[in-house]
């Protein structure tokens, strides 16, 4: 059965890559996490200033360790001593050479779908950094943007609990359309092709189940 599941992930990943490339993304197929990490390494120039979005996928693939290596200049948002310092680093990310992130969903009609709390991730994907690298497991490939939003809303409670935001969904594991300061569903973003800056966004679709 594991072979059948792997085959299904391979099929989804390859189909998504083909569609994304037809819509001016720079899309790559990766058989596994190690291959995805190598592709990311090849895409980042030595000495590049790198910012990242919060992503379980980057941790699971080892890509977070890669971007922290001494050969790059890493904007470390995770060691901030205050919210103001963290916000400043978010803003620095917009001027970075490379922004590396996961995504909530990729659609089979060539869109990237994300839901954000602060908007730094969705903003940097859309505009700012010279290069964006998105890494996604094939388990996040869906048919269309509507399904992508549904998927993103469905995993929002896990992300809220992961970052200890204290929202109602941290306890119930269900969306209550909360309105508090720490609400994680403030920004919905759909990147509908990469036509304005062809190839600026590289998407690596991995034939594995990754992230939430």
Q: What is the CA radius of gyration of the chain?
A: 16
Return the residue matching tokens 């059948």: 4
- The answer to whether the beta carbons of residues 203 and 14 sit under 8 Å apart is no
pLDDT surpasses 70 at 40 = yes
The predicted structure's pLDDT at residue 160: 78
Q: How many CB atoms lie within 10 A of CB 62?
A: 13
- The answer to whether the beta carbons of residues 100 and 58 sit under 8 Å apart is yes
The band of 17, judged by pLDDT with boundaries at 50, 70 and 90, is: very high
The predicted structure's pLDDT at residue 174: 81
CA–CA dist 104, 9 (Å, integer)? 16
> What are the backbone angles phi and psi of residue 47, rounded to the nearest 5°?
80, 0
The band of 59, judged by pLDDT with boundaries at 50, 70 and 90, is: very high
Return the residue matching tokens 């700012």: 128
**More confidently predicted of 113 and 186:** 113
Query: In this structure, what token pair is assigned to residue 204?
Result: 């690596």
pLDDT surpasses 80 at 212 = yes
Q: Average pLDDT, whole number, for the chain?
A: 94
Share of the chain above pLDDT 90, in %: 78
Mean pLDDT within 131-151:
97
The predicted structure's pLDDT at residue 167: 82
The per-residue pLDDT for range 196-211, each reduced to its tens digit, is: 999 999 999 999 999 9
**133-162: b (≥16 Cβ within 10 Å) or e:** bbbbbbbbbbeebeebbebbbebbbbbbbe
Q: Which of 193, 203, 198, 194 is nearest to 43 (CA)?
A: 203
User: Which secondary-structure segment (H or E) carries 116?
Assistant: strand 111-116
Mean pLDDT within 174-183:
82
Return the residue matching tokens 């919210």: 83
The predicted structure's pLDDT at residue 54: 86
pLDDT surpasses 80 at 65 = yes
Question: Alpha helix (H) ranges present in the chain?
Answer: 2-22, 33-43, 56-61, 63-67, 83-93, 120-126, 145-162, 169-172
**More confidently predicted of 172 and 192:** 192
CA–CA dist 202, 81 (Å, integer)? 32
The per-residue pLDDT for range 67-97, each reduced to its tens digit, is: 999 999 999 999 899 999 999 999 999 999 9
Mean pLDDT within 112-117:
94
pLDDT surpasses 80 at 157 = no
- The answer to whether the beta carbons of residues 196 and 206 sit under 8 Å apart is no
The predicted structure's pLDDT at residue 69: 95
Return the residue matching tokens 């993103």: 152
Mean pLDDT within 131-149:
97
């Amino acid at each position: 059965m594991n072979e059948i599941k792997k085959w299904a992930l391979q099929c989804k990943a390859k189909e998504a890559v083909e569609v994304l490339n037809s819509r001016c993304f720079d899309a790559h197929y990766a058989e596994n996490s190690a291959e995805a990490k190598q592709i990311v390494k090849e895409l980042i120039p030595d000495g590049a200033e790198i910012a990242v979005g919060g992503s379980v996928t980057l941790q699971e693939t080892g890509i977070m360790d890669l971007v922290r290596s001494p050969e790059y200049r890493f904007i470390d948002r995770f060691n901030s001593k205050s919210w103001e310092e963290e916000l400043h680093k978010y803003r620095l990310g917009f001027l970075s050479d490379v922004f590396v992130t996961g995504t909530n969903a990729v659609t089979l009609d060539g869109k990237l779908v994300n839901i954000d709390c602060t908007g730094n991730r969705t903003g940097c994907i859309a505009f700012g950094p010279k290069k964006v690298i998105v890494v996604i497991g094939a388990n996040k490939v869906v048919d269309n943007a509507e399904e992508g939003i549904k998927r993103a809303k469905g995993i929002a409670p896990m992300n809220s609990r992961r970052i200890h935001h204290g929202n109602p969904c941290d306890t119930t594991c269900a969306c209550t359309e909360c309105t508090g300061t720490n609400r994680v569903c403030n920004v919905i973003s759909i990147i509908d092709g990469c036509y304005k800056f062809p190839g600026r966004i590289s998407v690596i679709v991995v034939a594995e189940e990754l992230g939430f």
